[in-house]
């Protein structure tokens, strides 16, 4: 009966797992015995010595059972040997000294051993001290080294000579630019740290596997390698995550925080890509299925600003101007322009020349009396040219400017840089070229610029977009891209749907 118990048999592990339950009994009993003893000796409470001895007896009994269960648990393996050894001997020490303290006071022995009285208090004290240190070791085995003091606040932190607190890595931090993230360091490691390394670390190597360092992860554990580089689906660590949660081999164990579908997809993708140590997302191929998971990592500031993130409030909200003169507005309307007030609490104006295609450079003079108030200006399709842009710069509160389908060129657009609040610029179907785009990109605060059918080249658009992360440059699409778009429906067109009668 005992022999199977001393191996890592199911019985042994079954009993062993009661160690965390049993272990708290001697801790509580010993401490209460110590408190009663102190209370009794200082005369604060009136209890007989036999009460203390009675509690001590049960401390010793429970400590003994805790030791046995603890030993059986350790057969399961996966713990740091040194720490485990210290814990075990301290635990046994607790039991031994508790028995000694009880024995020297017990009825049978008390009279026979002369030095009994002398060793009672030392044995008792040692048992209590060992309880504390063994308990701490036990905690370190379960939760990892440094768990207790990880969040020591200042000033105690520096007083104790500890390093400044590490930033919380338990949950994955949003990544500002997913494309530039290093896959292992910024994506994989945080997932492992949040879900795996609690049990697979330097001090608690479950299954003899460590996942806290890439090299050790590659090495694998007692069940062989944790991953097969290039084959995510065949890698043990992925397969285990995908097993049913009730399966014994499922990881993380049932009841512990589980990996999300996205996290598994990301780990699997990283392994598929050969588990590289220092490659960035942009250097790897990203299949369609992984994109959502990747996007969920960042605020998604990647292409097109695809995200649920809040936009920065427009400068419009902060612009306060005095009302424009009615006569000036009427003059604009007379010239065929549409003038609308933007909102009731501000006096900003929206001016559109949609009904005045003849609007030309000389007509800009009409705008100057309301230079302060105009914030949205639509001059698309008008006769405006470069000299006109020189005047438009005087409309310093412009936030939106439409210049599409006009004759403006790079020379004119260079002036626009002086507009401090410009957020939107439309120059599609103009002669703006690469030089003009670079000038445009230099406008601080500009959020979107539309350059379709202008003279800009795709490579400069891509380059400028990389250099100015806050700016969305939309270059429309070529006929090739349209052809690609048109193929989107091919997959379903192949299986032409016919209503099937049941």
Partner 1 sequence: MEKLLKELQHAELHRQTRRHFLQSAGFGLGALGLGSLLGSCGSSKAGEVAANSESLAAGGIPQFAPKAKRVIYIHMAGAPSQLELFDYKPELVKYHGKDCPAEFLEGKKFAFIQGVPKMLGPQGKFAQYGQSGAWLSDYLPYLQTVADELTFLKAMHTDQFNHAPAQLLLHTGSPRLGRPSLGAWAVYGLGSENRNLPGFIVLASGGRQPDAGKSVYGSGFLPSVYQGVQCRTGGDPVLYVTDPNGMNRNIRKKTIEAINEINRQTYEEVQDPEILTRISQYEMAFRMQMSVPEVMDVAREPQFILDMYGVKAGEGSFGMNCLLARKLIENDVRFVQLFDWGWDGHGTNATDNVEGGLRSKCQISDKPIAALIKDLKMRGLLEETLVVFGAEFGRTPMQENRNGVVMPYMGRDHHLEAYTMWMAGGGVKQGYSHGETDELGYYGVKDRVHVHDLQATILHLMGFDHEKFTYPFQGRNFRLTDTEGKVVKQVIA
Q: Are strands 349-352 and 374-378 parallel, antiparallel or unpaired?
A: parallel
Site string for partner 1, 49-78 (x = CB under 8 A): ------------------------------
Cβ proximity to partner 1, 227 vs 265, nearer residue? 265
Closest C-alpha to 136, from 87, 182, 101: 87
- Among 342, 435, 442, 465, indicate the residue that binds partner 1 (CB under 8 A): 342
CB of 435 to partner 1, least distance (A): 21
- Among 48, 114, 318, 491, indicate the residue that binds partner 1 (CB under 8 A): 491
- Among 133, 307, 385, 411, indicate the residue that binds partner 1 (CB under 8 A): 307
CB of 255 to partner 1, least distance (A): 23
Any contact of residue 161 with partner 1 (CB under 8 A)?
no
Give one DSSP letter per residue of 122-166, joined into a string.
Answer: HHHHHHHHHHHHHHHHHHHHHH-TTTTTTTPPTTHHHHTTPPPPP
Alpha-carbon torsion 465, 470, 476, 481, what sign? positive
The three state secondary structure string of 187-200 is: HHHHHHHHHCCCCE
Distance from the first to the final alpha carbon of the chain: 65
CB of 20 to partner 1, least distance (A): 36
- Among 198, 201, 373, 475, indicate the residue that binds partner 1 (CB under 8 A): 475
- On whether the CB atoms of residues 241 and 264 are closer than 8 A, the answer is yes
Site string for partner 1, 361-390 (x = CB under 8 A): -----------------x------------
**Separation CA 63–CA 31 (nearest Å):** 13
- Among 343, 358, 457, 467, indicate the residue that binds partner 1 (CB under 8 A): 343
Stretch binding partner 1 (CB under 8 A), from 46-54, 134-142, 211-219, 480-488 = 480-488
- On whether the CB atoms of residues 193 and 214 are closer than 8 A, the answer is no
Any contact of residue 294 with partner 1 (CB under 8 A)?
yes
* Binding residues for partner 1, total number by CB under 8 A: 63
**Separation CA 159–CA 198 (nearest Å):** 28
- In which order are the strands placed within the sheet that holds 374-378? 338-341, 349-352, 374-378, 400-402, 424-426, 448-450, 472-474
- Among 295, 366, 368, 435, indicate the residue that binds partner 1 (CB under 8 A): 295
Any contact of residue 111 with partner 1 (CB under 8 A)?
no
Any contact of residue 498 with partner 1 (CB under 8 A)?
yes
Strands (E), 427-502: 448-450, 472-474
Any contact of residue 354 with partner 1 (CB under 8 A)?
yes
Q: What CA–CA distances, in Å, run from 205 to 19, 245, 319, 432?
A: 19, 21, 61, 63
Cβ proximity to partner 1, 274 vs 323, nearer residue? 323
Specify the residue for token string 């104006």. 349
- On whether the CB atoms of residues 182 and 279 are closer than 8 A, the answer is yes
Site string for partner 1, 419-438 (x = CB under 8 A): -----x-x-x----------
Instruction: Please state, as a whole number, how many other Cβ atoms lie within 10 Å of the Cβ of residue 304.
Output: 9
Any contact of residue 172 with partner 1 (CB under 8 A)?
no
Cβ proximity to partner 1, 399 vs 468, nearer residue? 399
Cβ proximity to partner 1, 214 vs 342, nearer residue? 342
Cβ proximity to partner 1, 299 vs 407, nearer residue? 299
Any contact of residue 494 with partner 1 (CB under 8 A)?
no
Task: Please give the structure tokens belonging to residue 322.
Answer: 């005095």
If 0-12 CB within 10 Å is exposed, 13-18 middle and 19+ buried, where does residue 79 land? Answer: buried
Any contact of residue 334 with partner 1 (CB under 8 A)?
no
Stretch binding partner 1 (CB under 8 A), from 68-76, 84-92, 220-228, 312-320 = 312-320
Stretch binding partner 1 (CB under 8 A), from 9-17, 39-47, 322-330, 340-348 = 340-348
Any contact of residue 179 with partner 1 (CB under 8 A)?
no
Q: Are strands 400-402 and 424-426 parallel, antiparallel or unpaired?
A: parallel
Q: What residue ranges bind partner 1 (CB under 8 A)?
A: 288-289, 291-296, 300, 302-311, 314, 316-317, 338, 340-346, 348, 352, 354-355, 378, 400, 402, 404, 424, 426, 428, 448, 450, 452, 474-477, 479, 482, 485-486, 488-492, 497-502
């Amino acid at each position: 009966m005992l022999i199977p118990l001393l191996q890592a048999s199911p019985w042994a592990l079954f009993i062993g797992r009661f160690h965390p339950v049993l272990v708290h009994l001697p801790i509580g009993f010993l401490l209460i015995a110590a408190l009663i003893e102190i209370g009794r000796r200082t005369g604060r409470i009136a209890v007989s010595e036999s009460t203390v001895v009675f509690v001590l007896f049960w401390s010793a009994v429970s400590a003994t059972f805790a030791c046995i269960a603890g030993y059986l648990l350790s057969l399961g393996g996966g713990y740091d040997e040194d720490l485990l050894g210290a814990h075990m001997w301290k635990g046994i020490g607790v039991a031994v000294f508790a028995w000694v303290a009880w024995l020297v006071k017990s009825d049978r022995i008390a009279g026979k051993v002369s030095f009994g009285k002398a060793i009672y208090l030392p044995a008792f004290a040692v048992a209590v001290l060992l309880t504390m240190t063994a308990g701490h070791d036990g905690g370190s085995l379960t939760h990892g080294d440094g768990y207790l003091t990880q969040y020591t606040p200042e000033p105690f932190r520096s007083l104790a000579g500890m390093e400044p607190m590490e930033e919380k890595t338990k949950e994955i931090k949003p990544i500002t630019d997913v494309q530039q993230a290093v896959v292992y360091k910024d994506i994989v490691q945080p997932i492992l740290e949040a879900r795996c390394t609690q049990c697979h670390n330097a001090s608690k190597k479950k299954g003899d596997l460590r996942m806290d360092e890439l090299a050790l992860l590659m090495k694998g554990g007692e069940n062989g390698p944790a991953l097969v580089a290039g084959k995510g689906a065949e890698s043990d660590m992925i397969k285990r995550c995908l097993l049913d949660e009730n399966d014994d081999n499922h990881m993380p164990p049932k009841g512990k925080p589980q990996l999300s579908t996205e996290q598994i997809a990301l780990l699997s993708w990283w392994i598929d890509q050969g588990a590289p140590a220092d490659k960035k997302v942009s250097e790897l191929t990203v299949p369609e299925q992984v994109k959502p998971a990747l996007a969920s990592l960042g605020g998604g500031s990647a292409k097109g600003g695809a995200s649920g993130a809040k936009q920065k409030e427009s400068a419009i909200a902060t612009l306060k101007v005095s009302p424009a003169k009615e006569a000036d507005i009427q003059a604009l309307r007379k010239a065929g322009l549409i003038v609308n007030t933007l909102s009731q609490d501000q006096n900003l104006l929206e001016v559109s020349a949609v009904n005045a295609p003849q609007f030309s450079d000389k007509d800009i003079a009409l705008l100057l009396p309301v230079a302060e108030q105009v914030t949205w200006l639509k001059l698309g399709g008008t006769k405006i040219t470069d000299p006109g842009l020189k005047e438009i710069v005087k409309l310093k509160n412009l936030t939106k400017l439409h210049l599409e389908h006009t004759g403006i060129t790079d020379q004119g657009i260079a002036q626009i840089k002086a507009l401090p609040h410009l957020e939107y610029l439309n120059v599609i179907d103009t002669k703006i070229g690469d030089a003009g785009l670079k000038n445009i990109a230099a406008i601080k605060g500009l959020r979107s610029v539309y350059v379709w059918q202008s003279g800009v080249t795709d490579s400069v658009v891509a380059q400028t977009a990389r250099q100015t992360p806050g700016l969305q440059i939309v270059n429309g699409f070529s006929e090739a891209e349209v052809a690609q778009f048109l193929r989107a429906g091919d997959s379903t067109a192949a299986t032409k749907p016919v209503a099937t009668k049941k």
